[in-house]
Structure 1
Amino acid sequence: MLGLNTLARRFGLKDSRIFTNFFGTDSWSGRTVTPAKAMQVAAFWACVRIIAQTIATLPVGVYQRRADGGRDAAPRHPLFALLRETPNADQTPVEFLEAIVAHVLVWGNAFVEIVRDDRRILALHILQPDAMEVYRDASGSLRYRQNDPRGVRELDEDQVLHVRGFGFGGDLGLSTVEYARQTLGATMATDEAAARVFANGMRPGGVLTYKGERGLTPAQREQVRESLIAPLTGTENTGRTLLLEGNAGFEWQSVNMPPRDAELLANRAWHVEEVCRWFGVPPILIGHASSGQTMWGSGVEQIMLGWLTLGLRPYLTRLEQAMKRSLLAPEDRATFYVEFTVEGILRADSAGRAEMYSKLMQVGGITPNQIADRENLPRFEGGDVHLVNSTLVPINQAGARPGRVQPAPGEPIPEPGQ
């Protein structure tokens, strides 16, 4: 970790965000909250993981918009290979996208260095957001100052893919850790309190009262702690009996803490829901079944659809628009764009996919071979024909003599009445 003097010299004392990332922020609970400590909270880790992994494993592609409003996949575009095969020499596409999304979720910003040869992009390298300073120069242009093992590097706006999280429209997105520090601090304090209770075998202990006329000396107090208190402390000593001799001068009084008074489990459950609320993740998706919900059933399917619309869609749109702005040449932006295929989230619902494909095929929206491509099935001859359901005909053709429902591949479609 960089020293304080090094940070002050390289970034300046006015950049409080840098010091927040390294040294954390205080909370009402007294716990210092940093990104590293926040990731030790189970619910925080689970929310970051499920969003990052889900988005990173969605199919992503580059498409070209046609003049008639349709679109075609553009696998020959250089950006396609970067996003689908090798973004850089060290990461797979899933690892690359996973890191971007995780940085946005935790720090509020993700930075990627764009390595170009003339105008062609050769590689995309992840930059650490906790060592990045964003500022504007005298001309108002956005500049990036990155601290890495080689020292401080200045990067222009066209050298950086900057994905901002939720914010107020400034140069930076808002850090979830910084703004959720009160919730995270309370969660950490609750976890520590629960751990200490369990460390003592769920016994809060008791009061050992000395009945002697004169107080104990420091040496006697230490001897009592070693011989009477230590043997009864810790989970390994649960159930042991305290032995006091008749003339010992001590009286033991147990202190009971009923679960209904402590409510540690209820508090911890409430904090799980609070953390989920910061990320917009339904608690059921990270294994927290609240309000009688179960992990299975049609209700969870509807929750998944709602999460896709309200939870994942904003992140997907941010990624798509940032990539279009920074990774596509200005002359390509009018026709080319990046898009995630969200149908990948519903792959486990075979009945839903079959119904969707059936309806799309009946209206000519998709061909049988396009369905085979999406399901990783082999193509077949004649599968590139668009089909329609012949039960629905234009009203001006109602009652006309029916012809063949579908001509053989390669034959012309007969005119109405033939």
Structure 2
Amino acid sequence: MKLWDNISLALKGGGGSLRPPLGRSYIAAYGGASFSGGAPSSYVEQVREAYAENPVAQRAVRIVAEAVADAPLAPMNDALAGLIAADNEGQSLLETLAAHLMLHGNAYVQVICGADGRPDALYTLRPDRISVEADETGWPVAYLYRAGEHQTRFPALDAMGRPAIIHIKTFHPTDDHYGLGCLGAAAKAVAVHNAAAQWNRALLDNAARPSGALVFDPGPDGGVLSTEQFDRLRAEMEASFAGSGNAGRPMLLEGGLKWQSMSMTPADMDFVALKAAAAREIALAFGVPPMLLGLPGDNSYANYREANRALIRLTILPMTGKILKALSAALGAWWDDTRMRVDRDQIPALSEDRASLWKRVSEADFLSPEEKRAMLGIE
């Protein structure tokens, strides 16, 4: 960032003249930073701004997606277990689906059948490349996948009523065919957080100090800087004082010039609090307690253990359950028993809840042994 990129010269009057009015002082201020523009509108731009460039959003998505992939599953059909555990081009199937649901609100799985007619592999498709084709009544009949100029059409159901594409989506109150992701809700907070980071970098480039000003006093004779003098001063400032590498370098002023430092304004000082508030909004949008992201000033939970329990119960388990139920319902066209669920007994963070349930059920004398086993989920 060049020092003079944000120069504001009071001497630039009508007609673009570099000369100030005679007999008046003028100020050449520089060193500040200005950022404009709102949140990006397209999905690709939002992913770039949030997941690729924002540490809070990326960490929030990865915490949830990786936890979904590592969730302990109850015993299931061996064929289903192999499909779920298989890598999806080097990535976990459940992790990829969870990330797509959080970011886009939609996740698509292509079912690849083998020679025996049963699913041989499950592949995830980029949701931003998929569009739903509906019939005259509004029901989906096909899915169109576009990659560059190539387009592939997948019927919603084959001749035997089995799905070629499994569509998993979150709730969208105003759309019949597509889900609503967290990225749109977090987009403005991400834009604010990224702008705050750019502001801090601009201050570092300016020797970690706020803007200052060169003040020229024309004196009683009303002298002014010529165009040549102004250009020479600008070149010297860029060469000798721009960037953090010249921090603390002494400045030699002459000819009526003096340096006037500008202190941080209340708006500048509020930027730190604004960045922290934006980070908490990002974490809120993705369902991750801010404490787990190391964000200061948020002590909603007594400790990290309670925050972890809240994350598992309110975000990870519902997300995992949604994915497993959708896969189970679709794969039921090939197998009779497609039950897939999370084995909560194997989650250490929920052990206290499980122990409390067992204690209450065991002390209920009015329940029969069969009823107690049913309440505890024991077959």
Q: TM-score higher than 0.5 here?
A: yes
| Structure 2 equivalent of residue 45 of structure 1 | 58
| Structure 2 equivalent of residue 80 of structure 1 | 81
Give, as a single letter, the amino acid of the residue that structure 2 aligns with 1:196.
A
Confirm or deny that 1:189 pairs with 2:198. no
Q: 2:60 & 2:76 partners in 1: Cα distance?
A: 33
| Structure 2 equivalent of residue 206 of structure 1 | 212
Give, as a single letter, the amino acid of the residue that structure 1 aligns with 2:327.
M
| Structure 2 equivalent of residue 373 of structure 1 | none
The RMSD of aligned alpha carbons is 3.4
Give, as a single letter, the amino acid of the residue that structure 2 aligns with 1:346.
P
Q: 2:83 & 2:334 partners in 1: Cα distance?
A: 18
User: C-alpha offsets along residues 315-347 of structure 1, whole Å, 9 cap, x if unaligned?
Assistant: 122102211122222762xx4311123455427
Map 1:136-215 to 2 at 5 A. Answer: 136-138=134-136, 140-148=139-147, 151-157=150-156, 158-168=163-173, 170-212=176-218, 213-215=222-224
Comparing 150-159 with 285-294, which one deviates more in the overlay?
A: 285-294
- Sequence identity of aligned pairs in percent? 24
| Structure 1 equivalent of residue 306 of structure 2 | 302
Q: 1:99 & 1:149 partners in 2: Cα distance?
A: 22
Q: 1:75 & 1:317 partners in 2: Cα distance?
A: 17
Give, as a single letter, the amino acid of the residue that structure 1 aligns with 2:47.
P
Give, as a single letter, the amino acid of the residue that structure 1 aligns with 2:331.
L
User: C-alpha offsets along residues 60-110 of structure 1, whole Å, 9 cap, x if unaligned?
Assistant: 35xxxxxxxxxxx3343x2111112x255x335xx2221111111111111
Give, as a single letter, the amino acid of the residue that structure 2 aligns with 1:74.
M
Distance 1:336 1:326, change over 3 A: closer
Q: Which has the higher contact order (CA 8 A, sep 6+)?
A: 2
8 Å Cα contact 1:163/1:319 also seen in 2: yes
Comparing 251-260 with 281-290, which one deviates more in the overlay?
A: 251-260
User: C-alpha offsets along residues 37-74 of structure 1, whole Å, 9 cap, x if unaligned?
Assistant: 1111111111101001111111235xxxxxxxxxxx33
| Structure 1 equivalent of residue 38 of structure 2 | 30
Structure 1 unaligned runs (5+)? 1-26, 62-72, 366-388, 395-418
1:150, CA displacement in angstroms?
7.7
Distance 1:209 1:137, change over 3 A: same
Confirm or deny that 1:329 pairs with 2:333. yes
8 Å Cα contact 1:31/1:188 also seen in 2: no
Q: 1:133 & 1:218 partners in 2: Cα distance?
A: 60
Comparing 259-268 with 236-245, which one deviates more in the overlay?
A: 259-268
Give the TM-score of the pair, scaled to structure 1: 0.66
8 Å Cα contact 1:104/1:165 also seen in 2: yes
| Structure 2 equivalent of residue 283 of structure 1 | 290
| Structure 1 equivalent of residue 242 of structure 2 | 233
User: C-alpha offsets along residues 101-121 of structure 1, whole Å, 9 cap, x if unaligned?
Assistant: 111111111111111135400
Confirm or deny that 1:314 pairs with 2:318. yes
Give the TM-score of the pair, scaled to structure 2: 0.72
Query: Aligned with 1:180: secondary structure?
Result: helix
User: C-alpha offsets along residues 263-302 of structure 1, whole Å, 9 cap, x if unaligned?
Assistant: 33222111111111111210011122434579xxx73222
Structure 2 unaligned runs (5+)? 1-34, 157-162, 367-379
| Structure 1 equivalent of residue 19 of structure 2 | none
Q: 2:364 & 2:289 partners in 1: Cα distance?
A: 41
| Structure 2 equivalent of residue 407 of structure 1 | none
8 Å Cα contact 1:31/1:189 also seen in 2: no
Give, as a single letter, the amino acid of the residue that structure 1 aligns with 2:164.
Q
8 Å Cα contact 2:101/2:169 also seen in 1: yes
Query: Aligned with 1:305: secondary structure?
Result: helix
